[in-house]
Amino acid sequence: MNYERTEEFSQAPVSKNLPVPTNVTIVNEVPPATTARQEATDARDDKPRNDANGDKTNDKTQNAAAPKAKPQAKPKEVSEAKVKMRSRLPALDDDADVGLEKEQIVTRDGKADLGFTGTLLASAAPGTPPKKDDWQEYRVYQTNAGKHVFSKVTRSIVADKDDSYEADVYDPSPSSVPSQLIRSARELVHSRPFTWKDAAVAFFGYDPLAKALYRKLSVEFEEQIS
């Protein structure tokens, strides 16, 4: 009797812990969530929206069109002495000198000051303390030689602003040839002799303060018509 022996072959067990080749790289290809969210945000920012007037705009445009805050102006520094002087208007420091003959000094900018012996005929200043920083003072003098001196002073309560001084002289009989020619030309225009009153009007004009000065001079400055 021949017995055939069946040879049983069994597969070798596979090890679960096989070595992994060192040259293999494992990559997880997952899109970053941060990039996706940023793109969605940019899309929303660039998307136009209707404002209250129906115009399309976006946040970037609104930020660019927003007005910038203006810097606040630095308050002006004032002179306490000038503030007191303004508070006393229309009274002036030399009111007591009106009608008094004495040595006078009249200051003027850009030229030599005028020194003479004479009388302050009248002065005028604003009737109420002005609300603005500046005010003017008008004065008329008469020298012992018969000339008239006109003075205009502009004052300010601002500490770093200097007062300004203007002055002019009327000479009834000028000695210089240029002055005589100017006088003759003026008299031809006015068809009458040029007087100190004409010179006062040419210097002060006819503003309210000048008219107040003319009334104090007790002379006729009105234009007479028939």
Give residue-wise pLDDT tens across range 27-82: 555 455 555 556 555 555 555 555 555 555 555 555 556 667 677 767 789 899 99
Inside any domain, residue 113: yes
Q: Distance (Å, rounded) from C-alpha 175 to C-alpha 198?
A: 19
Inside any domain, residue 14: no
Q: Distance (Å, rounded) from C-alpha 83 to C-alpha 156?
A: 9
Angle formed at CA 162 by CA 160 and CA 168, multiple of 5 degrees: 170
Inside any domain, residue 48: no
Inside any domain, residue 35: no
Inside any domain, residue 62: no
Inside any domain, residue 185: yes
Residue 90 has pLDDT above 70, yes or no: yes
Inside any domain, residue 30: no
Give residue-wise pLDDT tens across range 178-201: 555 555 555 555 566 889 999 999
Split at pLDDT 50, 70, 90, the class of 10 is very low
DSSP letter, residue 148 = E
Q: Distance (Å, rounded) from C-alpha 119 to C-alpha 103?
A: 8
Preceding peptide of 90 cis, ω within 30°: yes
Give residue-wise pLDDT tens across range 144-168: 999 999 999 999 999 989 999 999 9
Inside any domain, residue 143: yes
Please tell me the total count of domains within the chain.
Answer: 1
Question: Which of 109, 159, 154 is closest to 134 using CA atoms?
Answer: 154
What's the domain range around 110?
A: 80-217
